[in-house]
Structure 1
Amino acid sequence: MDNSVLTSEMLIVFGLLGFAIILFVFELLRVDIVGLLMMVLLPLLGVIEPQDALAGLSSNAVVSVIAVMIIGAGLNRTGVMNVVASKIIKLAGRGEKQIMLVVATVVAIISSFMQNIGAAALFLPATMRICRRLNISASRIIMPMGFAAITGGCLTLVGSSPLIMLNDLMASWWANNSEAVGGSQFVPLELLSITPVGLVLLACVLVYFAVFGSRLLPADMCEIDEDCMDKRLQEIYGSVVGDGYELEVPLSFRPKSLGELELRSQFNITVVGIAKNEGYVKNLAPVMDSVVGPGDVLWIISSKEKIEKVADAYGWRIKKQHEIFAEENSPDESGVIEGVVIPHSNLSGHTMAELRFRDLFQVNPLAIVRGDEIIMENINVTTLLQGDTILLQGRWQRFELLRQKMDIAFIEEVKGEQFLPERTRSAMFFVVLSLVLALSFHIKLSIALLTGALGMIITGVIAADRAYEAVDWRTVFLLSGLIPLGAAFEQTGAAAYLAERVMSVVGTPNSLVLLLVVSMLSAFFSLLASNVGAAVLMVPLAMNMAVEVGVNPVVAGIAVAMSASNTFILPTHQVNALLMRPGGYRTKDYMRAGIGITIIYTVVLVACLAMFYDL
Structure 2
Amino acid sequence: MNFELAIVLCLLAATIFMFATGRPRMDAVALTMMAILPLTGTITIADSLAGFSDPNIILIALLFVVGEALVRTGVAQKMGDGLIRYAGPGETRLLVLLMLLVAFIGAFMSSTGVVAIFIPIVLRIAGNTGIAAGRLMMPLSIAALISGMMTLVATAPNLVVNSQLVRDGHEGFSFFAFTPFGIPILVLAIGYMLLARRWLAPKSVAEPAARPRLSDWISDYSLAGREFRIALRKDSQWAGKRLDMLDLRATSGINIIAVERHRGMSRRLIRPVASTQLQANDVLFLDVLNGDREMEALCQHYGLNRLPISGNYFSDNAQDIGMVELMVPPSSRLIDKTVAESRFRSEYDLSIIGIKQGSTASQGPVHSQRLKLGDTLLAVGPWKAIRNIRHDRNLLVLTMPAELDEVIEKPTRAPFAIAILALIVALMVSGVVANVQAALIGCLLLGLFGCVDMNSAYRSIHWQSLILIVGMLPFSLALQNTGGVDLAANGLLSLIGEASPRIGLAAIFVTTAILGLFISNTATAVLMAPVALAVAAEMGASPYPFAMTVALAASAAFMTPVSSPVNTLVVGPGNYSFFDFVRMGVPLALIALFTSIAIVPAVFPF
Q: For this structure pair, what is the TM-score category when the shorter chain's length is used for normalisation?
A: 0.5 to 0.7
**Number of aligned residue pairs:** 515
Paired residues for 1:92-491 under 5 Å:
92-93=87-88, 101-110=96-105, 118-120=109-111, 123=114, 126-127=117-118, 130-131=121-122, 134=125, 144-145=139-140, 147-155=142-150, 160-161=158-159, 198-207=182-191, 211-212=196-197, 215=200, 229=211, 243=216, 289=291, 298-299=311-312, 334=322, 336-340=324-328, 343-345=332-334, 348-350=337-339, 364-365=353-354, 368-369=356-357, 373-378=358-363, 380=365, 383-392=369-378, 394=380, 397=383, 399-400=385-386, 409-411=395-397, 419-441=409-431, 443-491=433-481
Shift in Å at residue 44 of structure 1? 3.1
Mapped partners of 1:480, 1:219: distance in 2 = 41
Whether the 8 Å contact between 2:56 and 2:159 is mirrored in structure 1 is no
Separation in 2, partners of 1:125, 1:455: 25
Question: Match for 2:61 among 66, 77, 93?
Answer: 66
2:494 to 504, 509, 523: 504
d(CA) in 1 for partners of 2:578 and 2:479? 23
Q: CA deviation at 1:481?
A: 2.2
After TM superposition, give the deviation of residue 571 of structure 1 in Å: 7.9
Report the Cα offset of residue 156 of structure 1. 6.9
**Do the aligned residues in 1 keep the contact of 2:95 with 2:136 (CA within 8 Å)?**
yes
Amino acid at match of 1:499: A
Name the CA shift for 1:521/1:493 in 2 (closer, same or farther; >3 Å).
Answer: farther
AA partner of residue 356 (structure 2): I
The one-letter code sitting in structure 2 at the alignment partner of 1:127 is F
Residues 560 and 585 of structure 2 are in contact (CA less than 8 Å); yes or no, is this contact kept in structure 1? Answer: no
**1:53 Cα offset (Å):** 1.9
1:51 aligns to 2:39 (yes or no): no
CA drift of 1:521 comes to: 3.0
Q: CA deviation at 1:452?
A: 2.1
* Alignment pair present for 1:531 and 2:525: yes
Q: Does the 8 A contact of 1:363 with 1:399 survive in 2?
A: no
Give, in whole Å, the separation in 2 of the partners of 1:510 and 1:384.
86
Structure 1 partner of 2:594 = 606
Give per-residue Cα distances to partners, 1:491-537, cap 9 Å, x unaligned: 43323312322432444447875553242135457847453764554
Structure 2 CA distance for partners of 1:553 and 1:444, relative to 1, 3 Å = closer
Q: Secondary structure at the match of 2:338?
A: coil
Specify whether residues 521 and 36 from structure 1 end up closer, same or farther in structure 2 by C-alpha distance, changes over 3 A only. Answer: same
Partner Cα distance (2:340, 2:416) in 1: 44
Query: How big is the shift at 1:45?
Result: 3.1
Work out whether 1:34 is the aligned partner of 2:29.
Answer: yes
Q: In the aligned structure 2, how far is the partner of 1:204 from the partner of 1:55?
A: 40
Distance 1:596 1:397, change over 3 A: closer
Deviation of 1:554 after TM superposition, in Å, equals 8.9
Shift of 1:194: 7.8
The answer as to whether partners of 1:69 and 1:121 remain within 8 angstroms in 2 is no
Q: What amino acid is the match of 2:535?
A: L
Give the whole-Å Cα distance in 1 for the aligned partners of 2:105 and 2:200: 28
- TM-score calculated relative to the size of structure 1: 0.63
What is the aligned partner in structure 1 of residue 553 from structure 2? Answer: 563
CA shift, 1:25, in A, is 2.4
Taking the aligned partners of 1:361 and 1:374, their CA distance within structure 2 comes to 22
- Going from structure 1 to structure 2, the CA distance change for 1:578 and 1:84 (only over 3 Å counts) comes to same
Shift of 1:432: 3.0
Counterparts of 2:284 and 2:19, CA distance in 1: 49
Say whether the 8 Å CA contact 2:20–2:562 is kept in structure 1. no
Partner secondary structure for residue 48 of structure 1: coil
TM-fit CA distance, 1:29 = 1.6
Distance 1:375 1:569 in 2: 53
Mapped contact 2:83–2:98 kept (Cα < 8 A): yes
Offset at residue 80 of structure 1 (A): 3.2
Which residue identity lines up with residue 337 of structure 2 in the other structure?
S
Percent of paired sites with the same residue: 21
Structure-1 separation of matches of 2:582 and 2:321: 35
Cα RMSD, aligned residues only? 5.8
Report if the CA contact (8 A) 1:76-1:125 is conserved: no
TM-score (norm 2): 0.64
Contact persistence 1:138–1:221 (CA under 8 A): no
2:70 corresponds to which residue? 75
Distance of aligned partners of 1:110 and 1:496 in 2 relative to their CA distance in 1, 3 Å threshold: farther
C-alpha displacement of 1:209: 5.2
Within 2, Cα distance between the matches of 1:21 and 1:585? 27
**Which sections of structure 2, spanning at least 5 residues, go unmatched?**
228-256, 258-266, 268-282, 294-307
